Amino acid sequence: MSPARLSARAMRGASALEFALVLPLMVLLLYGIVSFGAVFYSQMALSRAAEDAARAVTFLPKVANGQTQDYTPIKTEVVNSLSASLIVPAASNGSVTARKTWLQNNVQSAVSVAQGACSGASATCVTVTITYPYQLTWILLPISLPFSSGNGSMSSWLPTTLVGKAVVRIS
List, for residues 69-110, the tens digit of each pLDDT value: 888 899 999 999 999 888 888 778 788 888 899 899 988 888
Closest CA to 38 of 164, 136, 141, 139: 139
In a domain, 106, yes or no: yes
Domain presence at residue 4: no
Domain that holds residue 59: 16-146+154-169
Q: Which residues pair with 162 in a beta bridge?
A: 132
- Residue 130, phi then psi, degrees to nearest 5: -115, 125
Cα torsion angle, 44, 47, 51, 53, sign: positive
**Among positive and negative, which fits the CA dihedral 21, 23, 26, 30?**
negative
Residue 28 lies in a domain: yes
Segment 48-76 shows an average pLDDT of 87
Asked, for residue 11, whether it belongs to a domain, the answer is no
d(CA 69, CA 163): 23
Confidence (pLDDT) at 148: 47
Distance set, CA 127 to CA 24, 43, 56, 74, 115 (Å): 45, 17, 12, 11, 6
8 inside domain: no
Based on the structure, what is the number of domains in the chain?
Answer: 1
Let me know if residue 85 belongs to a domain: yes
pTM: predicted TM-score of the whole model, two decimal places: 0.77
User: Would you say residue 1 lies in a domain?
Assistant: no
Tell me if 75 is assigned to some domain: yes
d(CA 27, CA 39): 18
